Structures are given as C-alpha cells and as structure tokens.
Amino acid sequence: MLKFLMMALVMMFMNKNTLKPSMWIMVSMFNLSIHQGSTGKMSYLLIGDSLSFWITNMSLWVIMLILSIKMSNYEKHKMIFMLLTMILMTTFYCWNFLLFYIMFEMSMVMIIITVMIWGYQPERVEATMFMVIMTSALSLPFFLSLMNKFNYLNFWMLPAKIQMWEYLSIMFIFMVKLPAFTLHAWLPKLHVESPIQGSMILAAVMLKLGGYGMIRMNVMTNFINNVTSHIIIAFSTWSIIILSIVCLMQSDLKSMIAYSSIVHMGLTLAGISLTKEKGIISSVIIMLGHGMCSSALFFLCNQMYKNNKSRSMIMNKGTTTMSPTMTTSWFILCMMNAPMPPSINILGEILTLKLVMEWSMKSVLFILMMMMVSFSYSIIMFCVPTHGNYSKMSKKITTYNSKNLTITIMHMIPGIAMIIKSNLMMTT
C-alpha cells in the first residue's frame, strides 16, 4: 500500500489539469495490484478475485471514455461519474451481501440522476418511474427472505440450501437488472429517453451488475435439480429467439441496440444457469465483449442522431455513406455484435452454445434458429445506415471527427485484444 500512499502525497501538489489523469492512473494501478490467481483479501469489507478484476477494468475503461465526451455542465457530469466509479468499485469488491445490495441499488440512482439532468424529452420521468417501480416491487420478497433466513451476510457463508421461493426472491433482483425476458420492459424505454453517457454506462456496466450478482449467488444453486435447470435454460433459449424477432420489428435504431443487449444477456443467463465452471467463464466473456461493443454502438447511433435529428431507421438510410471511416467503424461493431471474429464475443457464445448442446442435444434445433435470427438483425443494423441514397435533408456528417473516431477505436481495441490472450480469461 506504500506506493498508493506516495502517489496520494504527490497528487496533493498537482494542479487541477493534471489531477484527473493521475487519479485515474492511481485507481487503475490499485485494481491491477489486487489481481491474483486466487481470492485476495484487502480489508474486512473488501475482497477481490478475477471476476472483480475483469468487470472493474471494463467499468473504468468505459467511464474514462464517457468522461472524454463533451457535455453541457461538464463539472457536474464529471462529479457524478467519479462518484459512480467509487460506487462500482465498492460493489465489485465488497464481500458483505447487504453492502453489495446497497451499492448495487445506489449505482442505479446515479443513472436516474443522469437521465433526469441530461435527458431531453419529458417522457424521461415516466421511464425512470417505470424502472423504480419494477426494481422496488421485486426487492420486497428479497427483504422478507433476508429477515427470515440469513444469519450471516458474507458471500462465502451464505446457506448452501434454501427454499425455492427464497432463491427466486434473490434471483429476481438480479434478473430485473440483467434483464431477463418479461422483466426487460424498463430497459428499452430508459435507453430511448437517456442521453448518450447514460446509454453507454447503462449498456456497458449496469446490465453486467445483474450477471455479476447471479454469479456470486451461484453457490446456492447446488440444490437445483435437473427439472429446474431444464426450465431455466429453455426459458433463456426461447427468450433469445423471441427478442431477436422483436429486434427485427424495431424502427428506432437505439431501441434495436437496446433489445440486442437483452438478447446477449439471455445467453449469459443460460451460461450461468448451467452451474459449471466453463459456463461461468463463457458468461463473463460475453459480458465483457458485449460491454465494449454495445457502448460503441450507442455512441455511433448518437452521431447519426446529431446529423439527422432522428433515430428512425428510414431517416438514417445511407447516412454513413457520407463518411467512409464511420461506415468501417459501424461494420466492425455490427459484426462484433453478431458476433464474428476476431472479437472476444464469438469465443463466449461458442463456449455457451457448446455447453448447452452438451446439456441436451435436443436443443440443437433451437440453437440454429437462435443463430439465424440473431445474425439477421445485426446485418440489418449494418445495411440500413450504410446502403441506399441518403435523404436530401441530411447534411454531410461533420460530427464524426478524429476525437470521436478515437473513442470508437478505444471501444474496439479491448474486444479484439482480449481474444489474443484468451487464456487469461480462462483463469476467471
């Protein structure tokens, strides 16, 4: 800890311009120092392992890119996201279940503040209230089971055998944040009303909180029998097919990207429900790859909105043909979303589908349907903005400058670089 104390002392003598990057380097070095092959304890409240390391690194990377976007009232924007960084690091490194849940909900409060301040439509109030009501209603059974059962609130001391309703009361909290099918209605609505920084952090980090919580609670899934596993995995498979078809029906580009996020999280739910080590690893890989890809897709969608003042697929037809660099970036991201090599997404999805087929060969037909439909909306998402004649009312894209290109490339680099050293992911 001495090196962090020395950095803190040096930062006290820095001016305002050099303080922000120095703080970011300090937080990153702290996260790298606690990455070990096994669990590493830092204090009586904080403990870290490989899962915490990878999810936290993704959060820091995305928030760093968000802070580089020019926003109105930038000082307030920076303060909110710095506070969100501290909340997320506490969430991913705490080992007390009650503290984890408190930080888990506080992170959503920061998203609500962001949407209410920088949102530009009056419907944002309805969207945030919809999310608050859904999360609050599903939290009530959890508190009942918490008071009824748990004497110890440590992740490693939670009871291994609990009743089904107690297990579901905990899983519903994370499934609504994942979000699972039938609990997903708040997400597309909130994405549509959210500003660009809210959509980026919501897709990249907030959806991963649900998957992270389900992995942490995986110790209590030992009591689940074969029938329950059949129900969960069949539910995940059908939800992916149904939501992929819903994606094909969307006319709003931002809404289509939001529904594609729910499709990927459905595959994550299937991997976690298999309760195998490879299933957990594949779910983490999907979460990391999707976090980088979806954040960049929302960023480029915002650039199209700045040009045409519309998110409609018809109004944005042929928009990117005016900028070959933007067309190339959009193609790479859509193929990462499909997924196609060389992104890390394809590794996670192949591992998950392989495990599902090993679990039951009867699922092969559903997997083929799932692959066909999920590829279709990614191809349509690419073809509509990059083909055809653009509207004469559109002006030449001037918003996709070198800074925006750099932000897009910085999203792509981790998703492609991680597959080069994919053996590091296998130690999660």
Positive or negative, the CA dihedral 403, 404, 408, 409 is negative
Q: How many CB atoms lie within 10 A of CB 258?
A: 27
Q: Where are the domains of the chain?
A: 45-154+172-427
53 contact partners, CB below 8 Å, separation of at least 6: 31, 34, 35
Long-range contacts of 395-399 (CB under 8 A, 24+ apart): 395/307, 396/322, 397/303, 397/307, 397/319, 397/320, 397/322, 397/323, 397/326, 398/307, 399/303, 399/306, 399/307
Gap between the Cα atoms of 86 and 142, Å rounded: 25
Q: What is the pLDDT of residue 13?
A: 44
Alpha helices, DSSP H, located in 309-344: 324-337
Q: Tokens representing 126?
A: 């309805």
Q: What is the pLDDT of residue 160?
A: 57
Alpha helices, DSSP H, located in 250-344: 253-273, 277-308, 324-337
Which amino acid would we find at residue 240? Answer: I
Cα–Cα distances (Å) from 39 to 34, 35, 42, 368, in that order, read 9, 8, 10, 38
Contact 131, 190 (CB under 8 A): yes
Q: What is the pLDDT of residue 200?
A: 92
Q: What is the pLDDT of residue 8?
A: 45
Q: Which residues of the chain have pLDDT under 50?
A: 1-19, 22, 26, 36-38
Q: What is the pLDDT of residue 391?
A: 63
What's the burial of 392, exposed, middle or buried (CB within 10 Å: 0-12/13-18/19+)? exposed
pTM of the model: 0.88
Measured between its terminal Cα atoms, the distance across the chain in Å is: 25
Gap between the Cα atoms of 135 and 165, Å rounded: 18
What's the burial of 368, exposed, middle or buried (CB within 10 Å: 0-12/13-18/19+)? exposed
Q: What is the pLDDT of residue 36?
A: 47
Q: What is the pLDDT of residue 2?
A: 38
For residue 46, the cross-strand partners are 94
C-alpha angle 417-85-167 in degrees, rounded to nearest 5: 90
